[in-house]
Structure 1
Amino acid sequence: MVFATPRIIVALILREIGTSYGRSPGGYIWALAEPVLGIALLTAIFSIGFRMPPLGNNFPIFYATGLLPFLMFVDLSNKVAQAINYSKQLLAYPRVTFVDAILGRFILNFLTQLLVGFIVLSGIIFLFDTRAAINASDIVSALTMIAALSLGVGVFNCFMMSMFQVWQRVYGICTRPLLLLSGVIFLYETIPEPYRSYLWFNPLIHVVGGVRSGFYHNYDVPYVSSAYVYAVAAILGLFGLVLLRRYHRDILER
C-alpha cells in the first residue's frame, strides 16, 4: 500500500500522454511550435523598430528567455487547474485521490515544458551568435520558482474552477494582460516609478528576471525575490488544498 500513490500517479501520467499528446504527432509538434512561433513573431516585430534588444545583441534569445518561462507558467497552472475536471471519472475510485490527479498532470507537463524549453533554447544558441553565458544555478533556481508558482496557482484555481464555473472566465480576463506585465518584452528596470514598484508584486516578474540572469552574465537582478515567489505559491497552494480537501466530494457530485 505504501507504493499505491506512486503507481497511480504513473498510471495517470501514462493516461494523459495517450490522451493529450499521443493521439497524433500534432500534440507534441504544437507544444514545440507555440513558443517557436511566439518568439519568431516578437523577434520580427521588434527587430523592425529597434536595432538591438533591451539586453544583449540577439532578439531571439532575449524573447525566448522571457516567453518560455511565461508559457511554462501558463501551461502548468492551467493544466493543474483542470486536474479534477479532467480525471473526474477516475476520482470515483477510492484509491485515486485529487492529489494524485494534480501531481500526475503537473509532473508530465512540467517535464514536457522542460524538454520544449531545452530544444528551443538549444536551437537558438546553435543557429545564432547569442553570446549567452549560461549560469546553470540561476536557471535551476528560476525553474524551481516557476514550478512552485505554477503548482500553487494551479491548485487554488483547481478548486475555484471546479466549484465555480464562472471563475475560469474571470481568471482569464484578469490575467490576459500578464504577457505585457511580466517582463517578457521589456526589462523591469526600464519601467518608471511608481509603476515599477507596483509590478514588483507580480511574481512572474521575478521568474522571468531569474531566467534571464541565467543567460546574461552581466545582468544583475537585485529585485528578484525567490522568497516572495515561494510565499505566494505556498499561500495559494495551501489554501487551495484545504478547500479541495473540504469540498472535493461536493465537486465530484456536481
Structure 2
Amino acid sequence: MTEHPSRYSETGKLLYGLSVQMRVIGALIVRELHTRFGRDNIGFFWLIVEPAMLTIGVSILHISSGPFMHHGMPTGSFIISGYTCFILFRSIVNRASDAIESNRTLLYHRMITIFDVLLARGVLELGSTILAVVVLSTVMQSIDYGFLPQRPLLMLTGLFMLFWFAFGLSMVIAAASEKSTMVERLVHPATYLCLPISGAFTIQQTMPDPFRWYMSWWPTTEAFELIREGQFQDYTSDYTFPVYILGWCLILSVVGLMYLRAVRKDVHLG
C-alpha cells in the first residue's frame, strides 16, 4: 500500500497545536480569575487593588521614618520598582505549591497539563503586576511622589526576567509539593526570608563590598537592577549581568519540565 501524503505540513500542525494551547491557557486564566476574585464586590479589580494596598502600606512606613531618597529616586517610584515587582515573584512561587491539588480535576482533559496551569497563573500575575505598576506610577506622579517608568522597555525586560525565574522555580516547587507536603509549609516563610536579599529594597551600585558580592549571587538582584534602570533614566548600574539570571532561568526551566514530566504519572486524578 502506498501512503497518502499528509494533508497538513509539519509547520501547519505546529501552528495549529500552538493555537489550541493558547486557547487552553486563555481559558485557564479566565477560570483562575473567577476562582480567585469571583464577581462579588469589586470582582476583578482586586487584581490591581491587592498589590496596590501592599505597596501603599510599605510606602507609608517609609514616609513615617523620615525623608527617603536614593540617588534622585522618589520614594513612590522606588517602592513600586521594588516591592510591587517583588509581589510578582512571591505570588508565583507561593501559589505553585497548591497548583496541582487545586486543579487536579482539570487534568482529566488531555489538552490540559500541569505546565499549562502554572503558566496561566504566572501570566495572570505578570499582567496584574504590570497593571499595578502603571496605575500606581500614575497616581504617584499626580501627587508629585513619583513618576511613570522612564525607560519602559528596559523595565519590562527586567520584569520578564523576574517572571521567568519565578516561573521556572514554580515548576520545581509544584512537582516537589506533589511528593512531599512539607514543601508547601517551607515555601511561604522562605519567600519572606529572601526579601532582604532579593534586591527589592537595595541598590547594587551603592552597596559596600563584600555585601554586594554576596547578594549578587541571588539571581533576582539582577532582575531588580534592570527594573530600576528602566524606572529611572538617570540610574545606570555597573553590576548587572543579564547572562547570569538568563542561565538560571534556562536551568530551572529544563529541571522543572523534567520534574513535572516525572511527577505527572504519579498524579492521581481521583
Matched residue, 1:83: 99
One of 204, 224, 228 as aligned partner of 1:208? 224
Tell which deviates more after alignment, 197-206 or 97-106. 97-106
User: TM-score scaled to structure 2, two decimals?
Assistant: 0.83
What are the equivalent positions in structure 2 for 1:1-80 lying under 5 Å apart?
2=17, 3-26=19-42, 28-56=44-72, 58-80=74-96
Q: How far apart are residue 81 of structure 1 and its match?
A: 4.5
- Cα deviation, residue 96, structure 1: 2.1
Change (3 A) 1:7 1:185: closer
Per-residue CA deviation, residues 144-182 of structure 1 (Å, 9 max, x unaligned), is: 212211211111111112221101222333332222222
Q: Residues 246, 47 of structure 1: CA spacing in aligned structure 2 closer, same or farther, 3 A cutoff?
A: same
The range that moved more, 148-157 or 73-82, is: 73-82
Deviation of 1:250 after TM superposition, in Å, equals 0.7
Amino acid at match of 2:139: G
- SS in structure 2 at match of 1:95: coil
The 5-angstrom pairing of residues 1-254 of structure 1 reads 2=17, 3-26=19-42, 28-56=44-72, 58-128=74-144, 130=146, 134-252=150-268
**CA distance in 2: counterparts of 1:111 and 1:81, whole angstroms:** 21
% identical aligned pairs: 22
Instruction: Decide whether the 8 Å contact of 1:54 with 1:186 is kept in 2.
Output: no
Q: Distance in 2 between matches of 1:72 and 1:200?
A: 20
1:132 and 1:116 map into 2 onto residues whose CA distance is 12
Q: Distance in 1 between matches of 2:242 and 2:55?
A: 26
Residues in 1 aligned to 2:205 and 2:132: alpha-carbon distance in whole angstroms = 28
Question: In the TM superposition, what whole-angstrom CA distance separates every residue of 1:216-238 from its partner, at most 9, and x where no partner exists?
Answer: 22211121222111211221221
Deviation string, structure 1 residues 116-155 (Cα, Å, up to 9, x no partner): 2221122212221536660123112112212211211111
Aligned residues: 254
Q: Write the distance in 2 (CA, Å) between the matches of 1:200 and 1:136.
A: 24
Unaligned runs of 5+ in 2: 1-15
Considering only aligned residues, what root-mean-square deviation do their CA atoms show, in Å? 2.4
| Greater radius of gyration (CA) | 2
SS across alignment from 2:195 = helix
Q: For 1:112 and 1:35, locate their aligned partners in 2 and report how far apart those are by CA, in whole Å.
A: 8
Any stretches of 5+ residues in structure 1 without a counterpart? Answer: none
Deviations 1:177-216 (A, max 9, x none): 2222223233223333222111001122112221111122
Q: Which runs of 4+ in 1 moved over 6 A?
A: none
Deviation at 1:245, TM superposition (A): 0.5
The 10-residue stretch of structure 1 (77-86 or 58-67) with the greater mean CA deviation from structure 2: 77-86
Relative to structure 2, which stretch is displaced further, 197-206 or 40-49? 40-49
Aligned residue for 2:253, secondary structure, equals: helix
In terms of fraction of residues, the more helix-rich structure is: 1
Provide the C-alpha distance between the structure 1 equivalents of 2:129 and 2:227, rounded to a whole number of angstroms: 14
Amino acid at match of 1:37: M
Indicate how the Cα distance of structure 1 residues 116 and 41 shifts in structure 2: closer, same or farther if over 3 A, else same: closer
